[in-house]
Amino acid sequence: MAKQNFSDRGRISRLIVIGVIVIVVLFILASTFVFIPPQTSAVVISLLAPNGYRRQPLQSGLHVIVPLVEHLETYSIARQTYTMSSNPGEGQMEDDDSIRARTKDGQEVFIDASVIYSIDPAKVIDLHINWQNRFEDGVVRPAARGIIRDVASQYGVEEIVSSKRSELEQMITSQMAQKLAESDLVLFDFILRDIHFSEEYAAAVEQKQIAEQQAQQADLVIEQKKAEAEQARQVAQGVADAAVIAAKGDAEARLIQAQAEAQANLLISQSITPALIQYQYVLKLAPGVDTIFVPSGNQFILPLPTTP
């Protein structure tokens, strides 16, 4: 009986040893073959390497490492967005995280912005050495806030909100790209989301806009009055021109009539003869007179015309 118990304990021990061996083998296999997900790069921390890490990072796919003496530190190389906003919960910070800046003319502005960037896949090892997973708080955030403040201080407040906003955004983008590249990061885009002001300046801007609108309205009224005056002047000028034309027409008509009368009188005066005068005289006599008797020895006036 004791011999049988000893045999059972030996069998159980062998099963335990086999189980441990299987677990170790599975662990070794699992530790040997590693899969790197897409958009991910891995730094191999190795006790076998002189510097403590392999010189080349592992990109997405299946790879082999040495168990127990090597392990991975993975980094996403996908595009990431870091947002600084005044709206709670919109950015990485829960509270107001907008950038407060002073303009060239001393006005205080608050800027909301987003930085779209990624880790440079070719420089993952350098990033790991210098920053590990602290690059967002150690590089992206302070670089963006510092550059935005510095560039904003080179413009007046009116330029920032109107004519030079695009230029401001381009200058920030250029400096951000250079700064991130120095820390093994790649800038894809910088977005100037919003620019807002203190309550005092916003009230002053509103008052200025109201004054400008009132001035524009006054200018409109003045132009309207000028237009009405010009219209009245043109009407009066038209009436005056019409009167001049009418008067000129009357004068010319009278002149023509006078010239015609003068011409007629000239013709009449040229056509009057003694015989005509006698004839007209006789015509003025009674219509029934056919014969005129004159005293003996007097001159005969005019022979009567023959009647048909």
pLDDT digits (tens, 9 = 90+) for 165-174: 899 999 999 9
Q: Is the pLDDT of residue 52 over 70?
A: yes
pLDDT for residue 299: 53
User: Average pLDDT of 188-201?
Assistant: 85
Cα maximum dimension of the chain: 217
The three-state DSSP-derived secondary structure of the chain is CHHHHHHHHHHHHHHHHHHHHHHHHHHHHHHHEEEECCCEEEEEEECCCCCCECCCCECCEEEECCCCCEEEEEEECCCEEEEECCCCCCCCCCCCCCEEEECCCCCEEEEEEEEEEEECHHHHHHHHHHCCCCHHHHHHHHHHHHHHHHHHCCCCHHHHHCCCHHHHHHHHHHHHHHHHHCCCEEEEEEEEEEEEECHHHHHHHHHHHHHHHHHHHHHHHHHHHHHHHHHHHHHHHHHHHHHHHHHHHHHHHHHHHHHHHHHHHHHHHHHCCHHHHHHHHHHCCCCCCCCCCCCCCCCCCCCCCCCC
CATH topology of domain 80-197: Tetrahydropterin Synthase; Chain A (3.30.479)
- The reported pTM is 0.59
Domain ranges, ordered by start, for the chain: 13-76, 80-197
CA distance 250 to 291: 51
How many CA atoms does the CB half-sphere of 149 hold within 13 Å? Answer: 11
Confidence of residue 228 (pLDDT cuts 50, 70, 90): confident
Rg of the chain over Cα atoms, rounded to whole angstroms, equals 58
User: Average pLDDT of 162-184?
Assistant: 93
